[in-house]
Amino acid sequence: MMLIRYILLLEAIVLQAVSGHRIMVSPEPYSKETLNNSPLAEHGSDFPCKLRTDAFLAPSTETVYQIGIENMIKFKGSATHGGGSCQLSLTEDREPTKDSEWKVIKSYEGGCPTKAERLAGGATADNALQLGFTVPVGINPGKYTLAWTWFNRIGNREMYMNCAPITVGSASSQQCHKSIQKQTPNFPPMFIANINGCVTKENVDIRFPQPGSIVEHNGEVDHLLREGQPPCTGTPTFSALAAIKSTIPDLTKGVLGEAVSSTTSTALAHIPSSGSSCRALRRN
């Protein structure tokens, strides 16, 4: 009898672990046949994009996004760990490495991918969870790798990351006209934690030290990390700043929540983000 109870308990734990994560299904990720729904390894050995054998096999049909047009990131899976905070980032590298330069195009502080603690179903459940975003004017048309990164609010201190190859199409003249009225976008480096010695606090939705120009808040106000508190504690062994700080001085500040100067923000906004498609349209 005790053995049966033990087996049932073990099965419940395994089921919870398997169903307790989410996976990106649109845009179609690299090597989807071997992509599992677990977080990145504790010490970052599979960063970025859950590195593994043949990690960057492209799908038969690549997702195309037009600059300035609303799109959706779609997921499957049931448990949401109370939501958390996410970022969407782009790199020009089609097989990213730890040295790749990631540009954040949108941050979600709280309620990401939802503020519900758990949804019905298991690891393959389709709960129609989606994140809305646009590829902003300031990103050049071309081929990129898009990354969705997630820091869950409840549970083990983890970092999730799925990557997909995408093609970015030119902005329409209407979208370019709208962008003239807006502030120049800021595309800071991707936030990295829980895999590099800097650990986020449980039961809070973190505020990103450099969220970029486009930030969405969907969680409970009481869950959001208080302003001025660091998003993680500990000395990071690596960060997304490592790839660019050799060319732009004094970029190490801000990794753990310190203030980032306007000069640094301006520099980060141009690594690189020329908005050439809109300039070409304005010339014509």
Rg of the chain over Cα atoms, rounded to whole angstroms, equals 19
- Which residues lie below 8 Å from residue 154, measured CB to CB, with a gap of 6+? 81, 82, 117, 202, 203
pLDDT of residue 185: 78
How many CB atoms lie under 10 A from the CB of residue 55? 17
- Under 8 Å between Cβ of 90 and 163: no
Please name the residues in contact with 7: beta carbons below 8 A apart, sequence gap of 6 or more: none
Q: What pLDDT was estimated at residue 26?
A: 95
Q: What are phi and psi of 244, to 5 degrees?
A: -120, -10
Whether 88 and 136 have beta carbons less than 8 Å apart is answered as no
Query: Which parts of the chain have pLDDT scores under 70?
Result: 1-21, 77-79, 81, 115-128, 173-184, 241-277, 279-284
Per-residue burial over 126-136, b = 16 or more CB atoms within 10 Å of its CB, e = otherwise = ebebebebbbb
Residues 6+ apart with CB under 8 A from 262: none
Residue environment code for 212-226, b if the CB has 16+ CB neighbours within 10 A, otherwise e: bbbebbbbeeebbbe
Domains and CATH numbers, the chain: 18-283 (2.70.50.70)
Q: What is the pLDDT of residue 240?
A: 75
* 182, amino acid identity: K
pTM reported for the whole predicted model = 0.78
